[in-house]
Structure formats: structure tokens, C-alpha cells
Amino acid sequence: MRRSADRHLAVSTWLRLLHGYALIERELRRAVAEHCTFPQFDVLNQLERERDGLTFVELSRRLLVTAGNLTGIVDRLHAEGLVRRAVHPADRRAFRLTLTPKGRRLVRRAQGRHHRALTALLAGVPDRDLRVLRRLLDRLRASASSRAAARSK
């Protein structure tokens, strides 16, 4: 009986996480849609954090996607003048991706809308509860990461 209860708890927890994530993501997509697509926002946001830029591999690791999945997104951002590609100084086979001034302005506007929407979506949850939730999610991530690392050995 215990294993069944554990499974039910795990599944119902996962479904709540998924449902909450889907609702929040839908609203955040709407918030940034005036400026760019959500995948483009993710790329621009990561590049905005790194003044020296990122390689495709570094960017794919941060976004948890394959470098191949990024190619089309980066191509469009480059064509729109938002991202610059430069040959990597240490590896001529790789590109270093950086934001152009136009890309920096666009991502900052999109970030403002994103932050305002997220703040509004979470306004009904007291700060104390958000801090507890954040700690619990950190523990969840650590637990899942250690399990995944143990399996890959």
C-alpha cells in the first residue's frame, strides 16, 4: 500500500508542477510576444547575461536544448540584427554569439514585460510562501539531478 501512496504523491505533485508551469508559461509567452517569440526571448536573455557572449554549446547547455535546436532561432535573430556571430578566438570552428545594441534594447523591453507579468501572476502568493517554494524546488532539482547522475554512471 505504501508504494502505491508514494506513486500517487509523486504523480500528483508532478501534475501540479506541470499545470502551474503551463499556465505561467502561457502568460509569459503572451507578455513577450510583442517583442519576440518565447524561444528567442530565452536566447536573448541568456546572451544579455554574458557580455563576452556564448558559444552554441554553452548556450544549449544553459537552455537544456541541443545546439541543433538553436540554429534556426539564432539564424533568425542574426537576420533581424539582434545577435552577432564572431569566430571564437580560441576555436576557429566555433562561433561566439553576442547581442547587438538593437538586441540588447529589445531584450530589456521584453524582460520588463516578462517581469511585470510574472510579478502579477505570483502576486496572490505571499513572499514567505514563495521563499519556501523556491527552497523546495531547489531540493527537488538536487534530488532529481543526483538520481540522474547515478543512473548515467
For 2-121, the fitting CATH number among 1.10.10.10, 3.40.640.10, 3.30.1280.10, 3.40.50.150 is 1.10.10.10
Question: What confidence category does residue 94 fall into, taking pLDDT thresholds of 50, 70 and 90?
Answer: confident
Residues 6+ apart with CB under 8 A from 110: 32, 34, 35, 36, 41, 44, 45
pLDDT score, position 43: 96
Rg (CA), the chain: 19
Angle 109-60-141 from CA coordinates, rounded to 5°:
90
pLDDT score, position 2: 58
User: Higher model confidence: residue 46 or residue 66?
Assistant: 46
3-state helix, strand, coil in the chain (%, to 5): 70, 5, 20
pTM, full prediction: 0.82
Cell numbers for 1 = 500500500
CA atoms within 13 A on the CB side of 152: 6
Helices 2-32 & 101-121 angle (0-180, nearest 10): 130
